A and B are shown apart, each in its own frame.
Chain A
Amino acid sequence: MNPENIFNFTMDKENLSVKVERSFDAPLDLVWSAWTEAELLDQWWAPKPWRAETKSMDFNEGGRWLYAMVGPQGERRWGLKAFTKIIPRKSFTYRSVFCDENGAVDPATTSSMWVNTFTESKGVTLVTNDIRCETLAHLEAQVKMGFKEGYIMCLDNLEELLALLTKKGQ
């Protein structure tokens, strides 16, 4: 990451929401494409060594992105993003939920709502994710995957992780 990039991560425990801000050194058009086109999403949405694999994408209000997170052993975790509101090149909103390979959602599964907002200034694009959870259990499920990824990442790049943890401990 370019050290000049903004990366803010704040949480509001009372409202069960997390706000993430990240700037990208690229014009808005490109960043918007990377967030909304399946072939580009597949290249970055899953943290390595996992990879994202799109099964279907309909980027329209009422449409959805159905994809799998594929693990190093070929294990698949299916996810669904149901788009509820799209304002082209400005923002889009979706409900995120785990599902099966056909996109069927277990009624007991909790979801999170993501509002993603894009603004550009001098060729740098700021993306804001307002993530609101029905219950924290949903984020927890994401993070449980994250733990696994974090662990693998740790093996891959122990130094990087240690540096991060050291910084946090200060």
Chain B
Amino acid sequence: MRRDIFQAIADPTRRAIVMLLAVQAMTPNAMAEHFETSRQAVSKHIRILVECDLVEQEQQGREIQYHLKVAKMREIEKWLEQFKVLMAKRFNQLDDVLTRLKERKK
């Protein structure tokens, strides 16, 4: 199975986890309190987020805390920029088509 940023946020529970971690680092227990699903299910999603390299764990005394790797989120912005360039190019071509149509109508 692919493990990348897109897989990481493909699931609504994982997106919710990412939003929680964007605010602060959390323990798995604290995270599980925010969801109605079982702790096991939440743990599974956390594991996928770690495998996707979007989240990392840190030992804090006896507890494990999870952090969001914010730089990873920028990958999304990078390809959205590319999508924007694609749309811009497409629309500039549409401008030309419309100019031709307007001239034909005259």
Contact = CB atoms under 8 A, between A and B. Distances in A.
Interface of A: 1-2, 5, 7, 9, 11, 13-14, 16, 18, 20, 22, 24-26, 30-31, 33-34, 40, 43-48, 129, 135-137, 139-140, 142-143, 145-147, 149-150, 153, 164, 168
Given A47-B89, A47-B90, A48-B93, A34 B98 contact: yes
B87 to A, nearest CB: 6
Contacts, number: 99
A9 B105 CA distance: 31
B6 A135 contact: yes
28 contacts: A1-B91, A11-B80, A13-B9, A18-B80, A20-B87, A22-B91, A24-B95, A24-B98, A30-B101, A34-B97, A40-B97, A40-B101, A43-B93, A44-B90, A46-B90, A48-B89, A135-B6, A136-B10, A139-B80, A140-B79, A142-B83, A143-B79, A143-B80, A143-B83, A143-B86, A146-B82, A153-B85, A153-B89
Interface of B: 6-7, 9-10, 15, 19, 73, 76, 79-99, 101-102, 105
B85 to A, nearest CB: 6
B86 A146 contact: yes
A92 B81 CA distance: 25
A135 to B, nearest CB: 4
Nearest to A136: B6
A18 B86 CA distance: 13
A137 B94 contact: no
A146 B80 CA distance: 10
Contacts of A31: 98
Contacts of B6: 135-137, 140
Contacts of A18: 80, 83
